[in-house]
Chains A and B, each alone.
Chain A
Amino acid sequence: MSAPVLDLSLVPPLGDPRPQPVPEVHLTTLDTGLQVAVVPRAGVPLVELRLRIPFAAASTRAAAAHVARTSVLTGAVLLGTAAHDQVQIAQLLQAEGAELSVSADPDRLLLGTTMLPSGLPAVLGVLAELLGRATYPADQVAAEKARVAERIAIARSQPGVVARTALATRRYGSHPYAVQLPETEQVAAITPAALRKLHRERVLPAGSTLVLVGDVDPAAATDAVAAALGGWTGSGTAVDAPLLVEAPVGPLLLVDRPGAVQSNLRLGGPAPGRRDPELPAVRLASMVYGGYFSSRLVENIRERRGYTYSPRSSVDHLQAGSSFLVDADVATGVTGPALLETVYELGRIALVPMTEAELDAARRYILGTTALATATHAGLASTLSALIGSGLPADWLAEHQAALAAVTLDEVTAAARRWLHPAGLTAVVVGDADATADQLAALGPVQR
């Protein structure tokens, strides 16, 4: 078959867009400072809960110990309270269809679960116990530390984790964000007393946000939260990450992984934050570059050359700084050519205007998939938790979508020039150094 040319007369036109439902967000702030958002939503008979607690390392000096303690606290907080042991806590939640996941990122502690609607009071009761009276029993904490150490070893054997860690270290220098994975020695040194102190000082209602989405009555749910969590108090204030100044871009860093059959390419640099009016333009530029399947990067190094399975670019947000990121896992033998094309496409989008068609496609994709992603209880809960937890108003999403709709070709061209140009990005490659160093050196200085 010869390659067809798209005959647009055959492609059914899109109908008129139907109105998007606007989430009805009921916001309250308790006397303790806890912000509560309740969103009733038609859908399955479930309620999604997200509690976000500011949890950044306060300083560079404290970062390594803080990250290590946090990695244990996320599991250990569930190991017992004054009233219930670990098994009872798990059973109380399970009876309501719930299971609390506790995780941490460089900025916050996140507790989340789904539940059957009738379970809301019981789940909030368990949550209140954990927040106010987690005991960190010594034996169980010791066992949790051993598990965390094993999991760290497994994480460090994953090439994607090695690459992410190397890029963070290189970009963030001495900022706490540079510490992505704890050292096992730091984990081994943790005591239950240190966990209790961390919990007392940092698990605070002030600055925290609780989001409930789904089959809820807003007034009753807000009352239930106030009744259950009104007694969660604490003195101290939320800690955000310190001011971020990225390290200057240095030569490409090659991290040796002897015998690796693929190389993990990672590029990263700063990007506008959620409050920056340039963010919509950068998101669109990133989308056209490598943000979705229809992008230039996918067409080039996957669909034309077969170098890789899933190359991508994205814009990520941390509280103290946002990032433009590019990643591609490529066959070892084409590491140099794949980096060449990746950088070529960056240079092209930074210097040559994209087409109106490319801009419009990216714009419709972002708007459409945002609507899809927030069309479930869980998706909306996670999105609102991220926004409100970052101090943004609940209607930020609607304003951002309006801003995306208004971005012009000139604006996106300027944004690509400023934020996507390859000279502004830090580059890391994880792979077999003997097999790739020569290829990479042909493109520029390489540091091993």
Chain B
Amino acid sequence: MTSPGADLTLRHPVERFTLDNGLRVVLAPDTSVPVVAVSVFYDVGMRSEPEGRTGFAHLFEHVMFQGSAHVPKMEHARLVQAAGGSFNGSTHQDYTNYFEALPAEALERALFLEADRMASPAITEENLRNQIDVVKEEIRVNVLNRPYGAFPWLQLPQIAFESFANTHDGYGSFVDLESSTVDDAKDFFDRYYAPANAVLCLGGDLDVAETERLVRRYFDAVPHRAAPPTPYTGEASPTGPRHGVVVDALAPAPAVAIAWRVPDPVADLDTYLGTVLLSELLSEGDASRLELRLVHRDHLAVAQSSYVGLFGDPFDVRDATTLTTQVHHSADVTPQRVLDAVHEEIDKVAQDGVGAAELARVQARTSAQLLRGADSVLGRTLGFASAELIHGRAELAGELAARLAAVTPEAVQHAARGLVPDTAAVLELRTADKGTTR
């Protein structure tokens, strides 16, 4: 077992400064491998979308790869990849990020590319129509043409939450996507892609003074625009149980998902960490409570999982968010039996608490997984950037393993007391042949 004194803090120095146009810059140097990561996080995500424009944050992410004032279409990819680097972007609930991992000697090139599209992306009719088609194929691959494609991430928020920000489909309806215009995209860019609404985070084999000089050379020229107010995505806690049913014609077996509201990830981080560890205690690995109960002891489930945050990263979301437990079961097991067993296991934690030895095991596993994610320069840099944007402190990313290792059994018990059946949102997924019987 790990000794309690094991050093789990990532001691990478973090330097930060802000440009006159408002761009926040974070540098996390580390010379152990000759690699750099460049990331830009814009404070706009699926939860920022207005009604009638579902899926727009993600569609706009695609548009940002279509070239910019001095970079023709396809050349962004070519300039990164021909330098031996890789790139991607992703749209989250509360931010959209763009990133490259490259050999250290390509740092300046990546800064040029990110600054050029921060200043002036190629928002054209042709590019927008092309990327609407591509996004529709992405949705077909990931949602429409496969079993469990929307389950539960697109379906459960509709019953777990109330506000449009929290309930709508972040991938977008085809109707909304197809009616999107170049003017919509330009407005969206003007409003949300201001440098003052972004964090530029660089990690890896870089010299701080030289990098600051390069950052200023490329990004100082991006004009200032006021950052929009951070959208309010919190909402009142649910006061009653909610229940929904979806039919998945492609699914061979049923499933059920349960979501509970959890404490504010930012304003109440200490309490929230208890919830994060509870989720690990319940579902992470072969020794977890629900794996043993549902899969191995009662044979109710084929597979189970629990996670905090819509996409499973508890530290990249603002309020409101949930702990979700998801169970795939066979058709001869009723959802109610699964739900009863889940609630019973959580109630045991709420009533009896958690032994110190069991919690220490869970903490060892959780710490190892956090450290593993931070082993790559890119993974570490994205962690720093997300912590800076969401929590206002990049350093938090390096402290999380140690913070989680310090969570007490009482904090986990307290978290379990918040996960009661009375305020749970339950979504049943039924197969086509079972969907009509009720």
Contact = CB atoms under 8 A, between A and B. Distances in A.
A296 to B, nearest CB: 11
Contacts of A330: 137
A118 to B, nearest CB: 6
Contacts of A20: 34
Contacts of A260: 145
Contacts of B135: 309
Contact of A157 (B81, B252, B361): B252
Counting chain B CB atoms within 10 Å of each CB, the highest count among A143, A157, A331 belongs to A157
Nearest to B116: A10
A224 interface: no
A146 B106 contact: no
A372 B35 contact: yes
Contacts of A172: none
Nearest to B145: A262
Interface in A56-107: 78, 86-87, 89-91, 93-99
Contacts of B352: none
Interface in B337-367: 360-362, 364-365, 367
Interface residues of B, number: 92
B74 to A, nearest CB: 6
Nearest to B285: A99
Q: How large is the interface on A (under 10, 10 to 19, 20 to 34, 35 or more residues)?
A: 35 or more
A196 interface: no
Nearest to A328: B137
Interface in A146-175: 146-147, 150-151, 153-154, 156-160
A364 B81 CA distance: 8
Contact of A308 (B86, B101, B122, B137): B137
A99 B291 CA distance: 13
A115 B364 CA distance: 9
B124 A1 contact: yes
Contacts of A153: 252-253
Contact of B78 (A43, A146, A158, A294): A294
Contact of A368 (B72, B83, B146, B292): B83
A116 B367 contact: yes
A261 B140 contact: yes
A147 B285 contact: no
Nearest to A369: B86
A232 interface: no
Interface stretch (A278-286, A339-347, A374-382): A374-382
B2 A376 contact: no
A14 B108 CA distance: 8
A329 B71 contact: no
A371 interface: yes
Interface in B92-109: 101-109
A156 B368 contact: no
Interface in B254-297: 285-287, 292, 295-296
**Which of B205, B330, B376: most chain A Cβ within 10 A?**
B376
A32 interface: no
A4 B140 contact: no
A44 to B, nearest CB: 4
A248 interface: no
Contact of A262 (B33, B141, B362, B365): B141
A93 to B, nearest CB: 8
B69 A14 contact: no
Contacts of B111: 12
Interface of A: 1, 3-7, 10-21, 42-46, 78, 86-87, 89-91, 93-99, 114-116, 118-119, 140, 143, 146-147, 150-151, 153-154, 156-160, 259-262, 292-294, 299, 302-310, 329-331, 360-361, 364-365, 367-369, 371-372, 375-379
19 contacts: A1-B124, A4-B72, A11-B109, A14-B83, A14-B105, A18-B105, A20-B34, A91-B361, A94-B286, A147-B302, A150-B302, A154-B252, A293-B87, A303-B134, A309-B140, A360-B82, A368-B83, A368-B85, A372-B85
Given A156-B252, A261-B144, A368-B86, 15 more contacts: A3-B122, A43-B32, A94-B361, A95-B360, A114-B369, A140-B296, A146-B299, A147-B295, A151-B302, A292-B77, A308-B137, A309-B137, A331-B140, A365-B84, A375-B35
8 A-B pairs closest in CB distance: A368-B84, A306-B133, A97-B368, A15-B105, A361-B82, A90-B287, A90-B286, A18-B34
Interface of B: 1-3, 6-8, 10, 32-35, 67, 69-75, 77-79, 81-87, 101-109, 111-112, 120, 122-124, 129-138, 140-141, 144-147, 205, 249-253, 285-287, 292, 295-296, 299, 302-303, 328, 330, 360-362, 364-365, 367-369, 371-372, 374-378
